[in-house]
Structure 1
Amino acid sequence: MAFFLLLLPAAGLLYRKACSAQDTTGHRLLRDTALRAVEVAAQRQAASFSASSPVQLLDSAQLSALGARSVAGAARYFAGVLVKDYGGIGGLKTVSVRSLGAAHTGVLYDGLPLSDAQNGQIDLGRLTTDNLSQLTLYNAQPPDMLQPAAAYSMATVLSLTTRRPAFAKGHSLKGEAALEGGAFGLLQPSATLQYGWSPRGYSTLSAGWQQAEGKYPFTLQNGDSLQKKHRENSDIQALRLEYDTRYRFSDSSETALKAYFYNARRGLPGAVILYNDRSRQRLDDRDFFIQAGWRKRFSPQSRLQVSGKYEASYKRYLDPDFLNSEGHMENRYRQKTYYLSGTWSYRLRPFLTLAYGSDIMANTLDASLPDFVYPTRFTWLNNLAAAFSWQRLDIRANMLGTLTGDRVKTGPQPQTRKVLSPAAALSWQPRERLPLRLRFFYKSIFRMPTFNDLYYTLIGNTRLRPEFTRQYDMGLSWNPQLQGLLSSLAFTADAYYNTVRDKIIAVPRQNLFQWTMLNAGRVHAKGVDAGARLFFRPLHAFRLTLGGHYSFQEARDVTDPSAPEYGQQLPYTPKHSGALQATIQYKPLTLGYNLLFSGSRYRMGDPIDYNRLPAFVTQDLTLTGRLPAGRGGMWELTAAVDNLFNRQYEIVRYYPMPGRSWRLGLHYRF
């Protein structure tokens, strides 16, 4: 779309010249002369082609074709990603990339990080795709030089970018309203309003509501007997509000403000063991953040970005069946984050750019736990980055310095830590006309133990050390422009090797109700990620796009050679997984087909048949039709069937996933 917008001024100039020119017969062309329309189609080069580290991207059209309503549902289609899903619409959903663990995946929302110092994992099930223009997964870090130092402090980065409106001439208002319903009591109304209050500024307000009973059927197997059951305590009610505003000043500087609010009440579906599927645990979430940023270009060489953020979250966990003297467990958590960031970049030469970023962050946690220490974590990040580009060679390197420490109100004060974390990446195109690039990256990074790891009553261990990871990656990108029916191909393949030192694990202490956290783990992971996307030239009124990926992961515990689990594959890590997507467009109709495959894997315990989870394949269909409405509006009707063949499967042992389900949606855009 941006390509065609850039062509508009040139097209207007050519049109004016044509109106005053003569045709080949010597007659002057008139302004009302009818010219035969010519359709121009071009495919932009894949973003992953020139990147020095692997980049995977889903734009708004691809997200719509996938039919994924949450970020967790969409992230399943990235190579190397494992989604841990406990079932149910309201169940917790986290991702692990290349076997590094969910706590090593950072989430950026419009450029600034989401924080959760309590457990270190962002629940991607609560983040919707409704208002996203792009979802991107970066191994290592994003390539933008003008970004916060926090973006360099994560092993992998999942970046969410909200939509920016483009207003037609003479118009300053755009909007969208949608209503979606489906199986298991699903109801999801949403609305977005975009207002251009100035030629230089706009504001966007987006709201969504979700509710569902979540009582989906599943088959329970006990020995040789099969029994039909319904999932219990899987309901949810959630409200989301987002507000964005941007303004570009005459001096080319730009300011942005974003506010986000999420409030949910949900049931936490429990494990289904033998004939017991009872669960009455409840979780209430209330999350709010406000962030602002300012960018300024002082010269063609110098740029500055300053941003800040305040984030507050509240969680209430209730277990009415917990066996204690009170007859139940009720915990309340209040977490706050204060964040300030500044980054400056300067282009010393056309081929060399330097950047320096500094972030200051403070996290606090208040919990209704006995003998709680009320921790506060202070973190100061300083990052120096360099980018060298010469002809077909691109080299990027950075050094991140981290100073972090906790302060507690009671008990001994934890140790302050200082760590230097280097990273380097290289991308090279051997020949100018050869659509092939080779790449390599190395990154060393660490993560601090979470507040729960350190301070949870009867479980935490204040002597825990950080987890240190090292990542090595070697890959290639091939993006040829082809002749014939296939117009272009985007292919990537990467081989990687990751190590995790001082991995934090939970082990029983006195009994199954008292555990402790230890630095007792070492993990070595190696694998291959390969993906391709094929773009076909239009055939009559048909347009076809195919894409898919395959992942091989071998992640083994190498902690103790004398231990029985030494050399075993990590729990819930399939060696083989993959996905396939196909989109067929015929005039106003678009049909999307999605396939997701996961190989067999083992839960925690010995690798025996009893602990083995079988491989599974799920297939989804999405059909979308568009009809024009008055005054430039558009109606869109969507029908989707998930898990088309009603496959019964589990991602986590004893947590059955939904079988076949359906959704219908009606959208109106103006």
Structure 2
Amino acid sequence: NIKYAFYRTHYVNNDDKQVKIDNLYKQKEVYISSANEYEIKEFWRVSASYDFLWNTLDADVYGFVKPDRISQFLSVATALNLDRFKVQASALATFIHDRIKGQEAPADKHVLSPAVFMNGYPLRNKDFSIRAFYKQSFRMPTFNDLYYADMGNSKLSPERVTQYNIGLLYDHTSNRIISAARLSADVYYNRVKDKIVAYPKGQQFRWTMLNLGLVDIRGIDVTGLLTLNPYKDLYFTLRCQYTFQRAIDVTNPADNYYRDQIPYIPRHSGAAVANVQWEGWSLNYSWIYVGERYNQQENIRYNYTQPWYTSDLSLSKDFQLGKVSLRGLIEINNLLSQDYDVILNYPMPKRNYRFTITVEI
């Protein structure tokens, strides 16, 4: 795979009550990727991949450092697919080299990130499975995080995560009225060092980026799906999802916000989707809920952000004209026209409509 991208961002602020800004940013990206897989046995495969990424950023800002980054990723993996047991293991080596005009560049980054995934089927029909994984990941701050004026923080550290997960899954399909039933539950624990977070500063373009030294995340994910097929091509599907997540800052016991929930992460959230399909028609209703949050590091009343929920409705129809496939889609978003903020002082649209036609030749 080969990709080239060019991004042009022009930010203008002519507000007389603030410092006037007229900044132009130009970012270029070249990406090359190669992946190979070899089958040792029918149940045993190995793979290797190499990715090369080159980024540059320029701006008409006085004294801009014009960063230049070369990123390389080398990954090796293996998978064993036995009758009642599956295991995958991988290792990702990351190499980052940054250059900055007129300044000392950050030290090169060389990071190895391992991962192991396991899945077992204790029952003969394989409807029920037990899964677990361990994974380490590494995230470099982007040029937007580091260098955009009034937003970037050139001192940001990379984010490092260690994840543990164990879960149960029941997945059943048949040709009867209950054509599909799925229920899953996962318990996870994440340890995040130097977590990268963004704070809005009152304007959509101006955000503050910073690291949270150490974040402890524990959570539960529960999902369910039920599909009914009472008559020929008529299908009713209901999907539900609930998440509990305790994500607390455990950097320094002397901080006022020690063991407080980190900004904008709700402890409770969930969603429900109901869908009806019949002869190319599809009617979809979705409900999303996000619980109470805090918009700053301290969990005090002044920083409290109210929970919100929203409803969306859509109707689509698929058509076939010879070899041409068509889809018409009508959406009504925020059906109840409710006022809510995903982020403080950034009100979301009230009831709004969207019409889409998709053509595939």
Asked if Structure 1 and Structure 2 have the same fold, meaning a TM-score greater than 0.5 normalized by the shorter chain, the answer is: yes
Matches within 5 A, 1:488-567: 488-504=180-196, 519-539=211-231, 542-567=234-259
Which of 640, 644, 649 is the equivalent residue of 2:331? 640
Cα distance between partner residues in 1 of 2:238 and 2:87? 32
What is the match of residue 90 of structure 1? Answer: none
Q: Does 1:441 align with 2:133?
A: yes
1:614 Cα deviation after fit: 2.0
What is the match of residue 346 of structure 2? Answer: 655
Matched AA of 1:314: R
Cα distance between partner residues in 2 of 1:663 and 1:516? 33
CA contact (8 A) 1:488 1:535 kept: yes
Matched AA of 2:188: Y
CA contact (8 A) 1:589 1:625 kept: yes
Cα distance between partner residues in 2 of 1:482 and 1:629? 28
Matches within 5 A, 1:246-645: 307-321=1-15, 328-455=20-147, 464-481=156-173, 485-504=177-196, 519-539=211-231, 542-587=234-279, 589-604=281-296, 606-625=298-317, 638-645=329-336
Matches within 5 A, 1:73-92: none
1:661 Cα deviation after fit: 2.6
Cα distance between partner residues in 1 of 2:198 and 2:274? 42
Note the alpha carbon deviations across 1:5-45, whole angstroms, 9 max, x for none.
xxxxxxxxxxxxxxxxxxxxxxxxxxxxxxxxxxxxxxxxx
Query: More displaced, 362-371 or 597-606?
Result: 597-606
Matched AA of 2:64: F
CA contact (8 A) 1:414 1:462 kept: no
Distance 1:614 1:520, change over 3 A: closer
> Which structure has the higher relative contact order (CA within 8 Å, separation 6+)?
1
CA contact (8 A) 2:262 2:297 kept: no
CA contact (8 A) 1:362 1:379 kept: yes
TM-score by length of 1: 0.49
Percent identity, aligned pairs only, is 35
What is the match of residue 291 of structure 1? Answer: none
Partner SS state of residue 529, structure 1:
strand
CA contact (8 A) 1:435 1:478 kept: yes
CA contact (8 A) 1:504 1:521 kept: no
Distance 1:455 1:581, change over 3 A: closer
Distance 1:332 1:635, change over 3 A: closer
Structure 1 vs Structure 2 CA RMSD: 3.0
Distance 1:440 1:641, change over 3 A: same
Matches within 5 A, 1:114-129: none
Which structure 1 segments of 5+ residues have no match?
1-306, 508-513
Matched AA of 1:321: D
Distance 1:581 1:309, change over 3 A: same
Matches within 5 A, 1:170-209: none
Cα distance between partner residues in 2 of 1:506 and 1:637? 37
Distance 1:546 1:414, change over 3 A: same
Matched AA of 2:122: P
The structure with the greater share of residues assigned to helix is 1
Cα distance between partner residues in 2 of 1:633 and 1:355? 37
Distance 1:559 1:322, change over 3 A: farther
Which structure 2 segments of 5+ residues have no match?
200-205
CA contact (8 A) 2:212 2:249 kept: no
CA contact (8 A) 1:379 1:405 kept: yes
The structure with the greater share of residues assigned to strand is 2
Matched AA of 2:332: V
1:668 Cα deviation after fit: 7.2
What is the match of residue 202 of structure 2? Answer: none
CA contact (8 A) 1:532 1:549 kept: yes
Distance 1:570 1:464, change over 3 A: closer
Matched AA of 1:658: P
Cα distance between partner residues in 1 of 2:235 and 2:105? 63
CA contact (8 A) 2:261 2:297 kept: no
Which structure: larger Rg? 1
Note the alpha carbon deviations across 1:568-593, whole angstroms, 9 max, x for none.
11111111111111112345643221
Distance 1:505 1:547, change over 3 A: closer
1:549 Cα deviation after fit: 0.9
TM-score by length of 2: 0.87
* Number of positions where the alignment pairs a residue of Structure 1 with one of Structure 2: 355
Note the alpha carbon deviations across 1:610-647, whole angstroms, 9 max, x for none.
43222222112223456x78757787654432222222
1:541 Cα deviation after fit: 6.7
Cα distance between partner residues in 2 of 1:550 and 1:495? 12
1:467 Cα deviation after fit: 1.4
Cα distance between partner residues in 1 of 2:179 and 2:83? 26
Cα distance between partner residues in 1 of 2:21 and 2:256? 36
1:432 Cα deviation after fit: 2.6
Matched AA of 1:495: V
1:350 Cα deviation after fit: 2.1
